[in-house]
Amino acid sequence: MNTDLRFPQVIFGEPDIPEIRRHGLAGVDMHFHTNHSDSPTRIRDALALAQKKGIGLAVTDHNAVSGVIEAERRDSATLLIPGIEISAWDGPHILLYFFSSADLTECYDKHIADKKSSSPYLATSLTTPEIATFREDFPCLMVAAHPFGYLLFNKGLGKCIEREYLPSRMYNAFDGLEVISGGMSRILNEKAVNVADKRGMCITGGTDGHLLSDLGHVLTCTHAETTEEFLEAVLRRKNCITGREKTPLEKCIMGSRMLPQYLPYTWPSLQVHYRQNLPRFRHFLMKNQMKSGKRR
């Protein structure tokens, strides 16, 4: 592995953790969910496996911070990055990484806790510009999760911008992009790499893992021993990303294991999807009507 971290680099493939540690780098899975949101994975199990593998962990539950609080209470030797994945009402999933859990909790209590929808893991009533505004009050990094995903849904910043649901200037509100997301295809991850490079944004990588077996297959690596050092290095683009995407079978297994977490919210989830996608459907119709009028 090239240890010259003056410039970001992305390495596709299963992380070689012994090699990463041999070069004195800290490797952190920057996108992982627990049973404090839509995953069956317990905090104590995630911490134990991270410690066994010799990697760090960012707990980024959907619209929740209780997992981070539990992780800190367990006082593990694992390098822990306090985080949250906010599901914006207008589409993007947004990762916020904090230098302290106290700042994360304050941000959550003031701006997020009472904005969750009736399907709490699926959406909040917060828009991307609103999130970009209140995050300025806290020392944190704002990163677009899986920028060009997911599937038929507009859960990525880049996808929303491509479809003209959001203006391209919205990129400017973000510090970085997640350039290897374990749930994305190689093509979409490479697309994120190109956008980040073109726009000079910092880069992160994470598994978007929900199962314990997902942990550690995508790592963000840099020279750091503390949370502060790690996030500062990422912000200064002195890091690299190494990892692989999930196989189709792994995605199917993960989806089936996540399903029970959403069953209690089946009807609210359907309502959220309807309300979220109706404006996009109208936008699609208007855009095509305008194109049809120009052809005439």
Let me know if residue 193 belongs to a domain: yes
Let me know if residue 278 belongs to a domain: no
Cα 116 to its chain centre, rounded Å, is 18
Q: What is the pLDDT of residue 2?
A: 47
Let me know if residue 3 belongs to a domain: no
Let me know if residue 287 belongs to a domain: no
Residue numbers of the domain that contains 177: 9-264
Tell me how many domains the chain contains: 1
Contact 145, 262 (CB under 8 A): no
Q: What is the pLDDT of residue 271?
A: 76
Helical pair 43-53 and 66-73, crossing angle rounded to 10 deg: 60
Let me know if residue 110 belongs to a domain: yes
Let me know if residue 112 belongs to a domain: yes
Quickly count: other Cβ atoms within 10 Å of residue 17's Cβ: 17
- CA dihedral (274, 279, 284, 288) positive or negative: positive
Q: Which residues, 6+ apart, have CB-to-CB distance to 253 below 8 Å?
A: 211
Q: What is the pLDDT of residue 270?
A: 76
Structure tokens at 99: 């230098």
**Distance between CA atoms of 175 and 162, rounded to whole angstroms?**
19
Tell me the CATH number at 90.
Answer: 3.20.20.140
Instruction: List per-block mean pLDDT (blocks of 10 residues) for the chain, which spans 296 residues.
Output: 58 96 96 96 98 98 98 93 96 97 98 93 94 98 95 88 94 98 97 97 97 98 97 96 96 87 78 71 66 62
Q: What is the pLDDT of residue 291?
A: 63
Q: What is the pLDDT of residue 120?
A: 86
Measuring CA to CA, which residue among 173, 137, 182, 190 is closest to residue 10? 190
Let me know if residue 206 belongs to a domain: yes
Residue given tokens 């949370």 in the structure block:
227
Distances (CA, A) of 81 to 61, 225, 288: 12, 12, 44
Let me know if residue 282 belongs to a domain: no
